[in-house]
Amino acid sequence: MQLIECPWCGRREETEFHYGGQAHVAYPADPAALTDEEWAHYLFFRDNPKGLFAERWSHSAGCRRWFNAVRDTATYRFHAVYRPDEPRPVSS
């Protein structure tokens, strides 16, 4: 079990959090213009990198707010946490 930092509450145990998958997947700007293929990519296709990944977490047993994190999927280490309205931090 690891500690995850909520931008509002600070460090809490992993069991308080819920995973939300890839971050920054924007709803299509002009939905009616999308082809079936573009819809499929919006609905079903997500990045799956071995390394740094920007993803969503919810502090579901705490403040219940969503936030974003950059986490390394090979080491599971969190490199950054940030609020949903903030851009992805540049990390190495």
Partner 1 sequence: MNPLPEHPDVLWRNPEPKRSYDVVIVGAGGHGLATAHYLAKNHGITNVAVLERGWLAGGNMARNTTIIRSNYLWDESAAIYEHALRLWEGLEDDLGYPILFSQRGVLNLAHSLQDVRDSVRRVEANRLNGVDAEWLTPDEVKKVCPIVNTSQEIRYPVLGATYQPRAGIAKHDYVAWGFARRADEAGIDLIQDCEVTGFITDGDRVTGVRTTRGDIATGKVALCAAGHTSVLADQLGLRLPLQSHPLQALVSELLEPVHPTVVMSNAIHVYVSQAHKGELVMGAGIDSYNGYGQRGAFHIIERQMAAAVELFPVFARAHLLRTWGGIVDTTPDASPIVGLTPYANLYLNCGWGTGGFKATPGVGWCMAHTIAHDEPHPYNAPFTLERFVTGALVDEHGAAAVAH
Alpha carbons 50 and 74: distance in angstroms, whole number: 6
**Does residue 27 interact with partner 1 by CB under 8 A?**
no
Alpha carbons 87 and 68: distance in angstroms, whole number: 9
When binding is defined by CB under 8 A, the residue of 2, 27, 29, 92 that contacts partner 1 is 2
Alpha carbons 27 and 38: distance in angstroms, whole number: 12
When binding is defined by CB under 8 A, the residue of 48, 85, 90, 92 that contacts partner 1 is 48
Give the footprint of partner 1 on this chain (CB under 8 A). 1-2, 14-15, 18-19, 21, 36-37, 40-41, 43-46, 48-50, 53, 55, 71, 73-76
